[in-house]
Structure 1
């Protein structure tokens, strides 16, 4: 199939999407969470793929193909909704305790990284990944220390 986006460019976009999401997935994997490397990479790869498909249809529309009509923002909306469903599935409520919110958020963010890579905005995809890792790793450690300190004070 002929497309406005060269094959090597598509491969680059898909590789960047999967590669950056690897870092989010690795963080979740190292913390023993059920959604890890493969889940995050697949969500990001899928997001980038749907964006590339949407752009291909948009290019066909611009060339006058009347059967190809698309609003690119609707593709993004569909991706966001689908990933939100996946992320919500990772959240578990056990008694009064809720688990998986950070994993759900990171899955959703992996989708955003995929969308960014899919539209060829690599700087945005990298910035989102770096900021997310700072939040997940740096603030996660800070949060654990504060909670441990708070719990130790309660027990004293």
Structure 2
């Protein structure tokens, strides 16, 4: 049995690290998922890809099915973050962020670190830079 931890550790650490700023943002915004959840989602997604790579090495369709299952699972987890209130729906950004975080883990797991980095950076920029804009557009004129 050949054990080569270094490549796996690098991919797992990259997935964890790239998800951390997303979790930090959600934690600061006091959302249902935060600083612990997001890195764990990326870590699990990456780990599942890496754990099955020997099984799927000669069968790209098998890897595609595993990725498909992860994408579906992320949809279920994200669905749990969405709350429907009387007049509004909350948690859609957190749900979308969880889905992207799963994709970050998958990208790191298959060695597409450039894709994982772009997904993370784009998500962080969207959450941080567009939040003030969202608050402006949702401002109630009666409150001013």
Three-state SS of the structure 2 residue aligned to 1:71 is helix
**How high is the TM-score relative to the length of structure 2?**
0.92
Which of these residues, 92, 101, 126, is aligned with residue 101 of structure 1? 92
Three-state SS of the structure 1 residue aligned to 2:31 is coil
CA, structure 1 residues 74+146, in 2 after alignment: closer, same or farther (shift >3 Å)? Answer: same
CA distance in 2: counterparts of 1:35 and 1:27, whole angstroms: 10
Per the TM alignment, residue 42 of structure 1 is displaced from its structure 2 partner at its CA by 0.8
Q: Tell me the residue number matched to 2:30.
A: 32
Larger Rg: 1
Three-state SS of the structure 2 residue aligned to 1:40 is helix
**Runs ≥4 in structure 1, deviation > 3 angstroms?**
none
Per the TM alignment, residue 147 of structure 1 is displaced from its structure 2 partner at its CA by 2.2
RMSD: 1.9
Q: Tell me the residue number matched to 2:11.
A: 13
**How high is the TM-score relative to the length of structure 1?**
0.85
Gaps of 5+ in 1: 63-67
Is the 1:24–1:106 Cα contact (8 Å) retained in structure 2?
Answer: yes
CA distance in 2: counterparts of 1:123 and 1:129, whole angstroms: 10
CA distance in 1: counterparts of 2:60 and 2:138, whole angstroms: 52
Three-state SS of the structure 1 residue aligned to 2:52 is helix
Per the TM alignment, residue 120 of structure 1 is displaced from its structure 2 partner at its CA by 1.1
Alignment of 1:3-152 (within 5 A): 6-59=4-57, 62=58, 71-148=62-139, 151-152=140-141
The size of the alignment, in residue pairs, is 144
CA distance in 1: counterparts of 2:21 and 2:99, whole angstroms: 14
- Deviation per CA, 1:15-50, whole angstroms, max 9, x where unpaired? 000111011100000001120011111111010011
